[in-house]
Amino acid sequence: MSTFSYPSRLLEDAVEQFAKLPGIGQKTAFRLVFHLLRRPVAEVEAFSQSIERLRKEVKYCQRCNSISDTEVCYVCSDSSRDNTVICVVESIKEVISIEATGQYRGLYHVLGGVISPIDGIGPSDLSLDLLEHRLVQGGIRELILALSPTPEGDTTAFYIYRKFEKFGIIFTTIARGIPIGDEIEYTDTLTLGKSITHRVPFGNGKE
């Protein structure tokens, strides 16, 4: 199927729409549309409506800017969580990943991006005013800067640090090191270097 010649405009439209999604080519798009064509109408409706509803009805938490079905998200409204620590992340993707670890009991702050002059994203495009508002209200002890180790992530982390250091809080960043299960031999030199510089105590019940 090098070139497509569609017997139906409806079919062509649906394939074109799918092919606009990232990582979905023309062939995969056609395969997915062909699959949906053979499913019951109710099932296809459930599919299309779940997407439209999400986009139209989605809300963002008034405190942390994470996606939420309510005004305040389930993390921010959970009184058992440590509300003195905020983990600053780029998007809800990181919130979901960190929540999946079950290792973090503090709150989040979703920036909605990172500073990237090439993409035209400056500090004013991020939810920094909302973060400042949380710091002004007080009670925050620590900001964990959990941004990707890219130039954009590093720039954003540094910008946040400089902007909010006046609050006299602790700034931390997530540990870089050798992933569990990986071999030292195959670890890139930057990561291996970080893992030695930031080595942690061993024995006596630690680590």
What is residue 62's DSSP assignment? T
Query: Measured from the CB of residue 34, what is the shortest distance to a copy of itself in angstroms?
Result: 6
Interaction of residue 62 with a copy of itself, rule CB under 8 A: no
Whole-angstrom distance, CA of residue 207 vs CA of residue 201: 7
Using alpha carbons, list the distances in angstroms from residue 17 to 1, 13, 61, 103. Answer: 18, 6, 30, 39
Taking contact as CB under 8 A, which single stretch among the options 41-49, 147-155, 157-165, 199-207 is the one that binds a copy of itself? Answer: 41-49
Residues in contact with 11: Cβ distance below 8 Å, sequence separation at least 6, in sequence order: 33, 37
Interaction of residue 80 with a copy of itself, rule CB under 8 A: no
Nearer to a copy of itself by Cβ, of 102 and 203: the residue is 102
Query: Measured from the CB of residue 122, what is the shortest distance to a copy of itself in angstroms?
Result: 17
Whole-angstrom distance, CA of residue 62 vs CA of residue 55: 18
CA atoms within 13 A on the CB side of 117: 2
Taking contact as CB under 8 A, which single stretch among the options 87-95, 125-133, 138-146, 166-174 is the one that binds a copy of itself? Answer: 87-95
Binding site for a copy of itself (CB under 8 A): 1-11, 13-14, 16-18, 20-24, 28, 30-37, 39, 41, 44-59, 66-69, 73-75, 91-93, 95-97, 99-100
